[in-house]
Amino acid sequence: MGEARRQTGCVPSIPALVEPPVLAWARRSANLEPIAAARKIGVDQDRLHEWERGESNPTITQLRQAAAVYNRALAVFFLPEPPKDFNTLRDFRRVADQLSSEWSAALHAQYRRAHAQREVLLDLADIDGEEPVRSWQLVVPTNDEVLAERARDLLRTQTSLQFPSPSADMYRHLGYWINALEQAGVLVMATEGGEVAVAEMRGFSLYFDDVPVIMLNGTDAPRGRLFSLLHEYVHLLLHTGGLCDTTTDRRPTTPDRALEARCNAVAAAILMPRQAMLASPLVVQHQTGAPWTLPELIEAARPYGVSVEAFLRRLVTLGRVPMRTYLSFRDSQNGSPPEKRKPSMSTFYTVKARDLGKGYVRRVVSAHRRSAIDSTTAATYLDVKVGQIERLAKAAQVAS
């Protein structure tokens, strides 16, 4: 693996120095016989056997084709050995009232990509002789409001970014909390290409002591992503991984539903602190149980970067609004148009940085600039061409 990192060049015919067992594992895990895999990749079956026996190497171009055929992230093929079974995720955050079903192929691909990128970060830490950052961890108290306060205080010490002002837009809030988690040692990513529907998955988490992962759905609205981000962080604090189903507003009927209700409540408390909420002028002027208009809810929720629904649900927890009012509001929103977004100014590079995770991009680029890894390996880890690395690095910079 060390030799593979130090090979240079970016010509399509350059050999990809990958481990033969990884190639064989990728084919088998895709349920492909050698003859079928060879045909799809566009090589002779004998050549495929040579790769898997270590007698020859595919070119970078051939490896990219194999990655597409096996539905694997390219970075997976540069692991020193086949990864362990990906069995750390039991479920994931869904849209309310969506039933469990078989995973789509797209979700499987994103799940495997999450593991592959985590392995890259562990590999880079090993190259540098460093221990992964574990600042995201804390001792969980029995009181969940206290847990939320401690988690909020911990994350706010991790980032150098200024806390979003009350007038800041939703993207500023999302960027702030993502950066805080990245600096604390969490790999935060987003699904690629809009292939995973929000109805199937809003977010999932992979619990590990070193480099835990939070994956958000890149097609979700920013306020939805923000809540999923903190919801998944609570899962990590509770060492439970991504057991996420959001149909938790009525009385939980199973331990899993109870866990989801707890993660929702703690996430809401992190984003909307009790004292700040109860001191808010718009909350103070409303008598307990008094009706709220939609414009009032929008204005009151804005300082926290959360959705109106999340804000109203937090008022229920704080005893300011009855549950029936919240449920009535939520039911009235079913079938409403999706949350409006400002016109997209995204480029290939900004979207790529978001999907890979800006912290991940910065870590790989740093290793490349220090010559810890070569250009071809860095480009492979980032899934771009060598000439695109610096433009991607610019897109991954954090705005102050």
Instruction: Please give the full DSSP string across 271-333, using - where no structure is assigned.
Output: HS-HHHHHH-HHHHTSPTT----HHHHHHHHGGGT--HHHHHHHHHHTTSS-HHHHHHHHHHH
131-153 pLDDT tens trace: 999 999 999 999 999 999 999 99
Q: How confident is the model at residue 9 (pLDDT cuts 50, 70, 90)?
A: very low
Give me the number of domains the chain comprises: 4
At 219, list the tokens: 């097609």
Residue 94 DSSP symbol: -
β-strands 187-190, 203-206 pairing:
unpaired
Torsion sign, CA atoms 179, 180, 184, 185: negative
On whether both 23 and 65 belong to a single domain, the answer is yes
373's CB contacts (< 8 A; 6+ apart) are 5, 6, 124, 127, 364, 367, 381
Answer with the one of 282, 316, 334 that is the final residue of a domain.
Answer: 334
Residues 130 and 184 in one domain: yes
27-36, 170-179, 340-349 — which one is most confidently predicted on average?
170-179
Same domain for 135 and 224? yes
State how beta strands 187-190 and 213-216 pair: parallel
Query: What CA–CA distance (Å, rounded) separates 222 from 176?
Result: 12
Long-range pairs for 19-22 at CB < 8 Å and ≥24 separation? Answer: 19/79, 19/80, 19/81, 20/51, 20/52, 20/53, 20/54, 21/81, 21/82, 22/76, 22/77, 22/79, 22/81, 22/82
pLDDT-derived band at 245 (thresholds 50, 70, 90) equals very low
Tell me: do 112 and 207 sit in the same domain: yes
Do residues 183 and 150 both lie within one domain? yes
Looking at residue 280, its amino acid is S
Domain stops at, among 251, 271, 291: 271
Tell me, rounded to whole angstroms, the distance of Cα 367 from its chain centroid. Answer: 22
The residue from 51, 83, 115 where one domain ends is 83
| Pair 137, 267 in one domain | yes
Contact 74, 64 (CB under 8 A): yes
Q: What average pLDDT does this structure show over 188-217? A: 91
Residue with tokens 């869904």: 94
Residue 212 CA to chain centroid, in angstroms? 10
Around Cβ 263, how many Cβ atoms within 10 Å?
27
229 and 143 assigned to the same domain: yes
Shared domain check, 149 and 171 = yes
Q: Domain residues for 77?
A: 1-83
Backbone angles phi, psi at 113, to 5 degrees: -65, -40
pLDDT-derived band at 6, boundaries 50, 70, 90: very low
**pLDDT tens digits, 260-290:** 889 999 999 999 999 999 999 999 988 888 8
Q: Which of 83, 25, 32 lies closest to 51, judged by CA?
A: 25
Residue 163 clears pLDDT 50, i.e. is over it: yes
Residues 6+ apart with CB under 8 A from 5: 127, 372, 373, 374, 377
Q: Are 73 and 117 in contact (CB under 8 A)?
A: yes
pLDDT exceeds 80 at position 335 = no
